[in-house]
Amino acid sequence: MKIKDYSADSIQALEGMEHVRMRPSMYIGDVGSRGLHHLVYEVVDNSIDEALAGHCDRVDISILEGNGIRVMDNGRGIPVGIHQKEGVSALQVVMTKDRCWG
């Protein structure tokens, strides 16, 4: 079975989310520590999705000095090529727009 190509154009940016960017608490629940925790869960969920899809078998989560968080997996990573429709790096699309990917 051939695994589908995974590239910048596998990322689909969802439109019509400007209101979320203007009021982030609508999306993450809070702009304080509760919202920060929600964002950490989002990053961890991405690694779990990679594992459930069979693209990784290891997820490491570390709490660092200064209360930083590091989430690492041995999955496909986030494509960094230029996203054809958005005209910017797929990494920028993933981190700044509502999206879905295959």
> What are the pLDDT tens digits along the chain (102 aa)?
355 688 887 877 666 666 666 666 656 677 777 877 877 888 888 899 889 999 999 999 999 998 888 999 999 888 889 988 888 888 888 777 655 555
Total-model pTM = 0.59
- Amino acid letter, residue 51: A
Burial 26-42 (b: 16+ CB within 10 A, else e): eebeeeeeeeeeeeeee
Please report the pLDDT score of residue 84 as a whole number: 87
Q: Which domains does the chain have, with CATH numbers?
A: 17-101 (3.30.565.10)
Report the 10 Å Cβ neighbour count for 11. Answer: 24
Please report the pLDDT score of residue 1 as a whole number: 38
Please report the pLDDT score of residue 22 as a whole number: 64
| Pair 11, 90: CB distance under 8 Å | yes
